[in-house]
Copies of this chain bind each other. A is one copy, B any other.
Amino acid sequence: MKFGDRLKELRKKRTDLSQKKFGEYLGLAESTISMYEQNRREPDYETLIKIADFFGVTVDFLLRGESKETQEKVYTEEAKKILNDPKFFIAARDGKVTDEIVDAALEIIVEQLKEGRKKKI
């Protein structure tokens, strides 16, 4: 069990997350994710941390399967990116999203993501 195997497992838990979609999130080609999952390539540290943040796991878990505790702030990077897309909030129509709105929305999104994304955001 190496990095690629764990990445594959984590991604497959998200039924609607293809290699292409995940590649777009990371700014990489679909084939690159495929390489990662086959342990034929190793992402640089910046990408590695992005992956850990996305799935809410530690880098130690990704690399060695140890320290399996999830991070305190799970999914924050993904959630923030969603929030940065003005489509999702009426409050964003005028270009203003207060910190309070962001905090409240983050809670909701994190909860939904924890439930395995049964609901589409």
Contacts and interface: CB of A to CB of B under 8 A. Distances in A.
Identical chains in the assembly:
2
A107 to B, nearest CB: 22
A67 B64 CA distance: 15
Q: Is the interface of A mostly helix, strand, loop or mixed?
A: helix
A30 interface: no
19 contacts: A3-B45, A42-B44, A42-B45, A45-B63, A48-B63, A49-B63, A49-B64, A58-B58, A58-B59, A58-B60, A58-B67, A59-B59, A59-B60, A59-B63, A59-B64, A60-B60, A60-B67, A66-B71, A67-B67
Interface of A: 3, 42, 44-45, 48-49, 58-60, 63-64, 66-67, 71
